[in-house]
Amino acid sequence: MYNAWLDKKIIKSVMSNEICYFNQSEIKNNDVVGLRLRTEILTWIEISITKNIDNATLIFELKPNFFDNNDAYKILWQKNLTTIEGNTSKALLYGFYGLIRHRLSDESDKENYFSSPDQSLRMINHWDQIDGSVERGYGGSSIFFGRLYQVDNPDKGDFSVDTVLGDPFRHNHERVLMYARMLASIGINAISLNDVNVRGQATNLIVQPYLVGVKQLADIFREFGIQIFLAINWKAPEYIARLPTSDPLNNQVLLFWKKICQNIYQEIPDFGGFVVKADSEGESGPYKYGRTHAQGANMLAEAIKPYNGLIIWRAFVYNSKQDWRDRSTDRAKAAYDNFYPLDGQFADNVILQMKFGPIDFQTEEPLMPLFGALKRTNQIIEFEITAEYLGHQIDVNYVVPQWSKMINFNTQYPEQKNSVTNKLIKENSIKSKNSGFAGVSNIGMSKYWTGNPLALANLYGFGRLCWDNDANPNNLLVEWIRQTFSNVNSECKSIIYNIMKTSNQTFKNYTAPLGVGFMVIPHYHYGVSVNGYEYDQWGTYHFADRKGVGIDRTKKTGTGYASMYSPKVSEMYENINKTPDELLLFFHHVSYNHVLQNGKTLIQTIYDIHFFGYEMVKSYIRQWKKMENKINDDIYQVVYNKLLLQLENAREWKDQVNTYFYRMSGVCDKQGRKIYK
């Protein structure tokens, strides 16, 4: 099995001289994380543990209540002795992986080092289905569900599930264990196991006999300090208990959920809670019964409260049956319209999980306007690691810079103590420990966990960014390369770095321009289709005509979305000359001859970025080829083949977008490059 950034041989080579000492004489049986830490030391990297402190080179020092944060750790260096301190075994485990990271980096830097996570909840969401398929999964089939030989996950943009006879769990515990190790090593502490679209038998994951399989997974993740969650189907009371309704104000419905929680917690006493997608894209929800989402979420919150469980309620609620003829409805406004009025109404164990942007994980979106606007609601910001709209793990796309930009966006609310997104998520949550980041998983049964082995950098970067919100994405990339490709020479490391560092911008350049989004093949979401969603029900349009392109979302003449931000941010987006170029078409319908902040016209910018993006992919191939025989042959070949596909994809995007806008505008490229007429 591929061990990603945790290559055992490499880690052994930097840790083999250690002799560890634990300052607790006896370890309690229920301290499963402490036991796991010892197992990691003794049987995973195979170094010794001594009972005599004088022999030790590495001391694990448990200091209950010493630090403010139970996950924080400190590494201290004195001559030949290293000490890791933390309040809990979990903190020591994080410290252990932190030390490995350090050892694989610049050994000479031996400053004492304190590390505390910026976010409380650092969560991975799986969209794995009970038949082993994964919605928007490009790294093979589910590692949790499915049959032994089912490793691929063909994606045709249709995610219906097959009926499963018998036990649906894969029971590949070795792989799940390695995954749990990978997640813990980057600080992840929560995971939801199944798709938020809870289809078919997945509704029953919350009851027996399925709970047996869920418990087995919980037992593995628990050892690594990771709590498990399940996504639920809002209509479970009807499906499972044959109740006539799922109305949240119906007493029978509340009793049903209480019973469900009681049974789950009997099996899994530290179960995290439920993730809920309601009233969205065909899923049922409280609106069906004339109830608000606060009423729906709070009913579940009441049922799970006795066990300290959480309800993670997704804000991805919008009308997916729009009429393209109606230009007044704006999908971008939906989350704000639905949830802003509910601020302060959610129970303190409900968390509102909001996608980072108002639409749907596009290459470029402004920040979801609810961040900063909601002042009394627990919140999670959601990212999609799996690359649904970002190249399906075929195209190289290191997305961490985009996420970093979103969490560092300044919402400019004057009354806010700290108006930068990552800080206000916590500050505006009614219980700060009930807040954080979530990312939709990009892994599966494929050989390298992800389709393109380079896509693992996104999982790594996501975890590290949850922990350290100020981390520089380029530094995280260096870290990941150093650990993943530690045995390749520095020239190769630079090549990988240079390709990946520019890859997100390159992808943006050759796909839908300047924030307009969604010019993808419908449902499948890979490859260009300029008008694929233009005349449909999903509410994602570009409105190109012979004069210009883009969506007018201003208050003055458009849908009014721009006014959902703080006065200063609204003012910026309201003004075509102040809106950053990369978001121009998200906020304005812009004429082709309009001059952008970059000094060029819109139409020339569209041509330039598309030609440039394509050339960049060509240069990636040239650079990658220099590494033949210098890195692992198989990884070389897999990435090389993906790059060839990426080039084909970039070529189609470039030519179709350029031709489309040439035909619309009639304006020639100033540089006379080939545009098909």
Q: Cα–Cα distances in Å, from 403 out to 100, 412, 430, 470?
A: 25, 19, 24, 11
Smallest distance from ligand GCV to CB 176, Å: 22
In the bound state with ligand GCV, the residue whose beta carbon lies nearer, of 125 and 579, is: 125
User: What size, in residues, is the chain?
Assistant: 677
From the candidates 135, 155, 195, 388, which is the catalytic residue? 388
In the bound state with ligand GCV, the residue whose beta carbon lies nearer, of 37 and 196, is: 196
Residue 135 interacting with ligand GCV (CB under 6 A): yes
Within residues 181-210, the interface with ligand GCV by CB under 6 A covers 195-197
Burial class (CB in 10 A: 0-12, 13-18, 19+), 237: buried
Distance CA 5, CA 10 (A): 10
Q: Is 331 helix (H, G, I), strand (E, B) or coil?
A: helix
3-state DSSP helix/strand/coil % of the chain, to nearest 5: 40, 10, 50
Smallest distance from ligand GCV to CB 119, Å: 20
Smallest distance from ligand GCV to CB 91, Å: 33
Smallest distance from ligand GCV to CB 160, Å: 12
Site string for ligand GCV, 236-275 (x = CB under 6 A): ----------------------------------------
Contacts of 648 (CB under 8 A, 6+ apart): none
Burial class (CB in 10 A: 0-12, 13-18, 19+), 149: exposed
Residue 277 interacting with ligand GCV (CB under 6 A): yes
Residue 223 interacting with ligand GCV (CB under 6 A): no
Q: CB neighbours (10 Å) of residue 474?
A: 15
Active site residue 634: no
Residue 127 interacting with ligand GCV (CB under 6 A): yes
Contacts of 559 (CB under 8 A, 6+ apart): 327, 328, 330, 332, 333, 551, 552, 553
Residue 138 interacting with ligand GCV (CB under 6 A): no
Smallest distance from ligand GCV to CB 227, Å: 21
- Looking at 74, 136, 181, 553, which residue binds ligand GCV (CB under 6 A)? 136
Within residues 381-410, the interface with ligand GCV by CB under 6 A covers 388
Active site residue 360: yes
Cβ–Cβ < 8 Å for 236, 203 = yes
Residue 279 interacting with ligand GCV (CB under 6 A): no
In the bound state with ligand GCV, the residue whose beta carbon lies nearer, of 89 and 379, is: 379
From the candidates 247, 360, 384, 395, which is the catalytic residue? 360
Q: Is 37 helix (H, G, I), strand (E, B) or coil?
A: helix
Residue 360 interacting with ligand GCV (CB under 6 A): yes
Q: Cα–Cα distances in Å, from 457 out to 400, 480, 636?
A: 9, 6, 16
Smallest distance from ligand GCV to CB 370, Å: 16
Residue 155 interacting with ligand GCV (CB under 6 A): no
Q: Is 660 helix (H, G, I), strand (E, B) or coil?
A: helix
- Count of residues that interact with ligand GCV, criterion CB under 6 A: 11
Residue 61 interacting with ligand GCV (CB under 6 A): no
Q: Cα–Cα distances in Å, from 642 out to 392, 410, 459, 589, 631?
A: 10, 36, 19, 35, 16
Strand pairing report for 227-232 and 190-192: parallel
Distance CA 457, CA 17 (A): 29
From the candidates 162, 281, 323, 470, which is the catalytic residue? 281
Q: Which two tokens stand for residue 350?
A: 């409900």
Within residues 300-339, the interface with ligand GCV by CB under 6 A covers 316
In the bound state with ligand GCV, the residue whose beta carbon lies nearer, of 126 and 508, is: 126
Smallest distance from ligand GCV to CB 352, Å: 14
Q: Which two tokens stand for residue 495?
A: 């090549």
Smallest distance from ligand GCV to CB 338, Å: 14
In the bound state with ligand GCV, the residue whose beta carbon lies nearer, of 197 and 429, is: 197
List, by residue number, the catalytic residues: 281, 360, 388
Residues in contact with ligand GCV by the rule CB under 6 A: 127, 135-136, 195-197, 277, 281, 316, 360, 388
